[in-house]
Structure 1
Amino acid sequence: MKSCVLLSVLVLAANMLQQYCVDGQQAQVPCLFAFGGTLSDHGNNNNLRTRAKSNYGPYGINFPRGSTGRFTNGKTQVDFIAEFTRLNTLIPPFANRSGSDILKGVDYASGSAGILMDTGSHLGVNINFMRQIANHRNIFSRIVIRLGGVDRARQHLRQCFYPSLTIMKYTRFWRTGTASSWARKFVNVGVGRIGCTPYALAMNNRTNGSCVEEMNAAASIYNAKLRSLVDQLNNKIIDGSRCIFVNNTARNLGVVASGFTVTNASCCPTGTGVLCVPNQTPCQNINQYVFWDKFAFTEPFNKFLAILMYNGSNPNYVYPVNITTLAQS
């Protein structure tokens, strides 16, 4: 489960391409396709032979559809970005895609999947990066049929949000033209402060709650190289594509000031493990907790991060939530 924070994929709004109308509201994009790991999984692991599953209570305790396989008590950051862009839909997991739903987007993320192909394999089967790309090719072929041609399908997908799992693995697809034939906007989120997760604290016996700075330092090194690679690719791109890097390691995001006073413990009981113990009662003050289990975030914190990232990438759009009172909303 170490990869879940590494793969915190946020679908950020940046440089809106066109306006669309959805149920009377102005949607900012026609579709959203998410790649990633634990923090973005919407249920793709439910039927896999893996211990990295969350399709049981208390996961989903605050989600209208219950425990769908999201590794949180409610909505993911992907859910909130879809809401902010007024897509007016929940992005379905690839495992449950159907009919015309695929035109609005698909979630390919898989719990425990990581940057390397064998990441998370000790927990069982997951849908690694290469398979997520293959699944999107499958969806692309279906969209071609629905829209009546390859050109129409490509035009549709080029107007969508496309967060990449990690640009270091995505590079060769981009250079060969595979990725650029699908999309024009890529968002790449850096590695978070993994040394501050409840898992890292427990693994290193940090009873005082202090972060494991060695792990955070490793994340910073990775992010520096990732940002450099993003810059290099943007300088070489000639087809109008654009890659955005988001720094996810800021020490002061106004977390405590926004009401998140519990930053070093999980809200749900985890015992000696990482995930929530089935059917146990979680904390009563969820709005004050950053972490739901020992890795994944609570719904309020997912919303907090999504707002910060979204508004940071699109300063002309203000979601009607006061960040300073977010934890109480």
Structure 2
Amino acid sequence: MPESVRALVERFQPPVSVRSYGQVFTDTTEFMNIGYGDVIALGGKHYLVLGDESERRFGMEDPKFWVKRCIEMECGKYRILKLEFQETFDQHIGPLTITCHRSATKEARILRLTAGDPRFMQGVGLRDSGGNLVRVLERVAGRRLDLNVEDVHADHREYFHDIFPGILERFIAACRAIHLLHQNGETHGDIRRDHLYVDHKTGDYCWIDFDYGYDSVENPFGLDLFGLGNILAFISGKGVHTIQDVDAGGLDITEADCALFFRHRVVNLRKLFPYVPEDLNRVLMHYSAGSEIFYETVPELLADLEPCLTTLRRA
């Protein structure tokens, strides 16, 4: 290995021995060949690879071989490097099938747009020697929102009255952040509850992962809006409630009470929890299979959702 890189490894003494040091990569095209102990040289900095990132969904680990956990050896700080991965695939959202693709260029644009804004993950896009657009990301000092909600040790009534108003206030701020993207002609593209993090220090919410783009969608902001609705139903219900879950209770739940895209998920929460205010339930029902009117912009959603926060605080 080059002596200068060896000196960096020895200086910061990361959790990998110098003896296990691999290659220095300036071209990340063959990202499957880059692994533990290798170094990525990029933009005048050196990133020691500790492993691949993975995403946990539906109880399964989904490895992301193009996303590397690293240490920036010039400063010793943790970084995530998203290497360029050209992929086109069909995403299934309920009954819809939408062709989407990963776009490093789109994500780099959003990183530039939101630089310094704590509502979004921070980072920069840099070209490697092979022309690949690598996103060098700072670690979000927080935890997924959905895990925080699931870990609340309270029944739904206590959660809804004592904890949920604070969560809703921060969620509204996160919606405004998405509106900023839309105002600039951008979309998040993959709004899910595991892509919204809670900052450990401030409690504020931070969006991650902006690299999804769609080939043809009638309303380019529509999928972001439905993603926000899914998160709203989750935080309002303290989890996902399905027809199968509530059938045993003998409740009169129909398809019209369930989500438009996920017909097994109940969004008419007043049928499950009668103390949910009507104004909040009306917002949720805009995302139901029985609705004829759907939100097309974030301001439309917030015009109905913000008064709900006042209602909750008066309760």
* TM-score with structure 1 setting the length: 0.25
Bigger radius of gyration: 2
Structure with more contact order per residue of length (Cα contacts < 8 Å, sep ≥ 6): 1
Give 1 or 2: higher strand fraction: 2
